[in-house]
């Protein structure tokens, strides 16, 4: 597996493709057998993955514990990213509350260290911006944790450019995590240019469009209440039907390149900048192997230009978040 560098002021070297672990226990239907998920994580390490993503609120808590157990034999060989700033009230399935008060950040850090079984968190993201707490104050709280050796690098997730700049001026960011894919290219307008200027890496989550870019989700697909996509407008019946044109494009591109739609989608993300590291999630070994093989799919400048023109001609139907969740991003 090839590697990439996230961040300029505080560089972090990781595998070119990471593994998003959320779906193993949260967000995409029932949690899977932890022992089986540990096998998938072990298989990722064996295939060269060194970058694993989790969060305090996934579960809550159980996903961090799963990742910590699975990666315990590989300490020093892998890098774990986790997140603070979203607490869950009322246990699993409870209400999510954005909270980045410094005392909450510190308590969250201690809990994550314990569940992950590590002495320091490799990359610690603010999961969502807390509009009540200035970004300078958040950055200062994380800087204290870095000085104490409890955090090595830090980042923000789904933050707006102005907030990123303000936080970076206090404590340099290594990475920003945001959705970015052939299905959601909005970061190209302002976020990616700002990150390039600042020397901050980008870690795209949902680089496969929450599974849609695999071209396996038909117009008649349905999702259970424990699947996040059940509340995402983009996955409602009318929008799924409209977006089948994009699924057809993915199949055509894959056939022309001799690979799969998922590999085209990931290769496209990788080709945008050398400091972009996608973290597709999966619970299946065959999908893991398929995704990782995308690192060897090379797209020429001509192919990239043709793909961009095709995407421009196929606007995506449906918002990526319901209104209450959309209100939490881009702050």
Cα torsion 133, 136, 139, 145: sign: negative
Residue in the block written with tokens 């590291």: 277
**What span, in angstroms and rounded, lies between the C-alpha atoms of 28 and 50?**
23
Q: Does residue 262 contact residue 288 with C-beta atoms inside 8 Å?
A: no
Q: 272: Cβ–Cβ under 8 A, 6 or more apart, which residues?
A: 192
Q: Does residue 82 contact residue 95 with C-beta atoms inside 8 Å?
A: no
For 231, 237, 262, the CA distances from 318, given in Å and listed in that order, are 12, 10, 21
3-state secondary structure of 11: coil
For 31, 160, 188, 227, the CA distances from 329, given in Å and listed in that order, are 26, 7, 16, 20
Quick one: which H or E segment has residue 38?
helix 34-46
3-state secondary structure of 322: coil
3-state secondary structure of 97: strand
The residues facing 121 across adjacent strands are 151
Q: Is 58 a catalytic residue?
A: yes
Tokens of 223: 């999702």
Tokens of 219: 């117009």
Tokens of 129: 């911006």
DSSP, res 281: B
Write the burial class of residue 62 (CB in 10 Å: 0-12 exposed, 13-18 middle, 19+ buried).
middle
Catalytic: which of 58, 61, 124, 125?
58
Q: Does residue 175 contact residue 12 with C-beta atoms inside 8 Å?
A: yes
Active-site residues, by number, are: 58
């Amino acid at each position: 597996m090839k590697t990439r560098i996230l961040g300029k002021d505080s560089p972090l070297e990781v595998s070119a493709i990471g593994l998003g672990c959320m779906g193993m226990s949260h967000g995409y239907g029932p949690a899977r057998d932890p022992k089986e998920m540990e096998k998938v994580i072990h298989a990722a390490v064996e295939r060269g993955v060194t970058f694993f993503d989790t969060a305090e609120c996934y579960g809550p808590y159980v996903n961090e514990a799963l990742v910590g157990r699975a990666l315990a034999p590989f300490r020093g060989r892998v890098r774990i990213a986790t997140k603070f700033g979203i607490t869950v009230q009322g246990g699993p399935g409870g209400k999510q509350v954005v909270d980045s008060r410094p005392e909450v950040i510190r308590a969250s850090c201690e809990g994550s260290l314990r569940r992950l079984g590590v002495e320091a968190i490799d990359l610690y993201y603010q999961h969502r911006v807390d509009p009540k707490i200035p970004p300078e104050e958040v950055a200062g709280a994380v800087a204290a944790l870095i000085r104490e050796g409890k955090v090595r690098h830090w980042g923000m997730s789904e933050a707006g450019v102005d907030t990123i700049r303000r936080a970076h001026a206090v404590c340099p960011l290594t990475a920003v995590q945001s959705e970015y894919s052939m299905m959601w290219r909005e970061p190209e307008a302002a976020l990616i240019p700002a990150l390039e200027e600042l020397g901050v890496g980008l870690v795209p989550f949902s680089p496969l469009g929450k599974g849609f870019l695999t071209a396996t989700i038909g117009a008649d697909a349905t999702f259970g209440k424990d699947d996040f996509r059940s509340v995402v407008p983009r996955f409602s019946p009318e929008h799924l039907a409209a977006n089948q044109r994009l699924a057809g494009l993915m199949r055509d591109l894959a056939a022309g390149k001799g690979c799969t739609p998922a590999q085209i989608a990931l290769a496209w993300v990788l080709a945008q900048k050398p400091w972009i590291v996608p973290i597709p999630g999966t619970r299946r070994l065959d999908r893991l192997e398929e995704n990782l093989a995308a690192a060897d799919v090379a797209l020429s400048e001509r192919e990239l230009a043709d793909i961009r023109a095709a995407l421009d001609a196929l606007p995506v139907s449906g918002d990526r978040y319901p209104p209450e969740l959309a209100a939490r991003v881009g702050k």
